[in-house]
Each structure stands twice: as structure tokens, then as C-alpha cells.
Structure 1
């Protein structure tokens, strides 16, 4: 007799979500351990303890699976960092929390960040161009632009081209993670704090220096 509280469709949907999460987790572990070029669907299936056919049932191919890995990691970062940014009283502190937050996430999820770096380095589209970056970074730029505009409207940030600054900040964050990937003992939180200081120094409205006292001729 079927349970009224768990209809077949709902139960099947839950099982399928769980299976997809299992496959994504196996993909992350395999890529982090073996590198992207060696992370075939067959190898990911062995890591997950399932057949390759099960992966093919849930994902059309490696590209779609990688897309989901990237989306999951960025979603997790957003869910971790954005609420903390929203809780700040100023755009300056929100920007600092953003940079600090992504660094803290990376430290807590080294395997996921290692897999992400491998995907960004090696994944290519049909034309042989990097699969991630360029237009795929647009949502990141737009989010930073909104933060800068809020700071400009509140009078915290000076006038500047928000797109130029968004690209510059994201490039600096990417560079921070790449350096940390190559030098895993690097002090990532300290790097994040100094990067935040650098960016805020560049965009904040600095108080005017007091005019020097006038002197009278004798």
C-alpha cells in the first residue's frame, strides 16, 4: 500500500537528487585526486561505486557534469558569504566580508577548490577555448557592480567605472586562489585581508587632508 505522505513521484525525485549529489561528490574527489584529464566518467563511476551507465542516466556527458560541479560550488559560496555581506552596515565592510568569506570557504573545502581549479584550467569547449570564464563570469561581475554602486550611492566609494573594478577584483581573487593552490602553506586569510585593504584603499572616498595653517609675514 502506497504512503499518502510519500507519493512515488516525490520519492523518486528525492532518490534522483541523492544520486546526482553522490555523482557530483565523486567527481570532485576524483578530479582533486587525479586531475581533470584523468577524471573520466568511468573513473568517477568507480569512485562513486556505481556503473558508468548510472552517470549517463543523470548527466548527458562530462561537460554537463562539470557544469553542475561548478554551479554547486559557486552556489555554496554564495549561500555562505552573501548572508554575511547583507548583515553588514556598510559597503566597505560588505566587500571585506566577501573577500574574507570566499577565502574561509576555500580553507574549509580544499578538495572542492582543487577540483574547481582543475576544471577551469583544463575544460575546453567545442572550439578548444576555455569552457569557463569570459561570459560565464558575468554574474560575478554583476554582483560586484551592485556592491560598488551601493557604496557610491551612500558616499563611501568614489566615482569609478564599476565594470573595470569588478573585473579587477575578480582577477585579484582568482590570482589569490591560484597562488594558494601552488603554495598550499600560503597564509590565505592574511592574503585576503591585505587584498581587501588594497581594494578599499583604491575605491573609498578618503577624508580631505586639512589645509596647512597660513603664516603671516612679520
Structure 2
């Protein structure tokens, strides 16, 4: 199971929000607001009860809806709702992290910002992280296949690989296996998400600072001027 609530250093900035009276999908702002209310309730419900116990009834109760049917009006089924949950958390992570990452131009500084921004998002959003991890781990159909789509979850890893390779070409990073390094960086970040979701007494920011030092030492080119 992979958790990628992040933006890789080489990803483009997220598009800004428009001022239109309707969403890009054609939904009204009122409909979007109701959908966001239901997704927020789903996040809180999964974080507290776990995915297995996060029924529409529990989510409707937390969202203070008059009827469970209001969820079905806005979402086709459980898959649709929990896909929206995953997308919402990941988009919030990207929006929070991309400005931090793109404030730098040097490869090493971007990598440090990438790691720090990931860990600070995890520290600041424990409820969302707990819900995301539980849905990705536990949301399964009867045949055992994932309920939510994992399409694109490895994209940040691919972009991170490209960032590391670009840093090698510029001479900022030493020669190393970029795929192995990117996998190690992602695995270290994912480990923090899993610990936080399990409720461990864990200082994610301190951990992030150590990761920055660790991977700065692992990637820097000692021969660069």
C-alpha cells in the first residue's frame, strides 16, 4: 500500500481557483458545498471509527443531514464517496506543499522543502492522514480489489526520480540510483504517515528535520564547487 499525500519537487503549481459561480464540472456552488460537507464528515468518521464502520448512516449523522438519501443524491455509491475522500486529502496536500517546494530553484533546496512540507502536512492534518491511510488499506470490494482507484499514486515517485536525475545532470547531486533513492525517500515519508495513523506518540516535524539531513548527506555531490 502506497500513500502519496504530496507534490514532488518537479510538479507544476496547482491551478488557482476561479471566480465562476459554478464548478468546472458544471455543479453549482451549493452542490459543491454539500459534497464538501459530506466528504469532511466521511473523513472524520473514518478517522474515528475506521473504514469498516464508516456507514452512510454514521456519516450522515456526523454531517447533520436529515436523511442518508442526501449522500446518495450527491454520490453514486460508497466507491464514489471514498474516492472523493482520497482525492480531497491529496489535493489539500498538494495545495499546501507546492508553494513551499516551488519557492526554491536549487535541486537540494527543493528536495529539502519537499521532505519538510510532506512531514509538516502530516503533522498538521492527523485526522485526514488517518482517514486516508485507513481507506487505502481497508477499502476493498468483495473480490478483494481496491475500492478506490490507485491510478496516479506512483506519479510523485516518478517525478521525484526525475528531479533527482536532473540534480545529477546539474552536478548538484552525486551519482546514485535515482529510483532507489526516490523509493527510500517515499518509504520514509510513508512510514511517518502510518505511524501517525496508528496513533503513535510521534514528532513528525523532528522526524522530517532528520530526514532532510539524512537525504542531504545521501545525495549531495562532494566534488561540486
Q: Do Structure 1 and Structure 2 share a fold, with TM-score over 0.5? A: yes
Scaled by the length of structure 2, what TM-score is found? 0.79
Unaligned runs of 5+ in 1: 209-218
User: Corresponding residue for 1:178?
Assistant: 194
Give the direction of change, closer, same or farther, for the CA distance of 1:158–1:94 in structure 2 (3 Å limit).
Answer: same
Which residue pairs with 2:223 in the alignment?
207
Q: Distance in 2 between matches of 1:166 and 1:156?
A: 16
How far apart, CA to CA, are the structure 2 residues paired with 1:11 and 1:130? 28
Looking at both structures, which has the greater relative contact order when contacts are Cα pairs under 8 Å and sequence separation is at least 6?
2
> Paired residue for 1:18?
33
- Which of 141, 165, 170 aligns to 1:154? It is 170
Aligned-residue offset at 1:156: 0.9
Residue deviations 1:94-133, cap 9 Å, x none? Answer: 1111111122112221211111121122112454145569
Q: Which has the larger radius of gyration?
A: 1
Q: Give the total of aligned pairs.
A: 202
Gap runs ≥5 in structure 2: 1-19
Asked whether the 8 Å contact 2:45–2:58 carries over to 1, the reply is yes
Question: For 2:208 and 2:21, how far apart are their aligned partners in 1?
Answer: 47
Change (3 A) 1:204 1:127: farther
Q: Which moved more, 1:15-24 or 1:91-100?
A: 91-100
Return the alpha-carbon distance in structure 1 between the equivalents of residues 104 and 71 of structure 2.
42
Q: How many angstroms apart in 1 are the aligned matches of 2:82 and 2:56? A: 11
Tell me, in whole angstroms, the C-alpha distance in 2 between the residues paired with 1:134 and 1:168. 20
Runs of 4+ in 1 over 3 A off after TM superposition: 129-136, 180-184
Equivalent residue number for residue 34 of structure 1: 49
TM-score (norm 1): 0.82
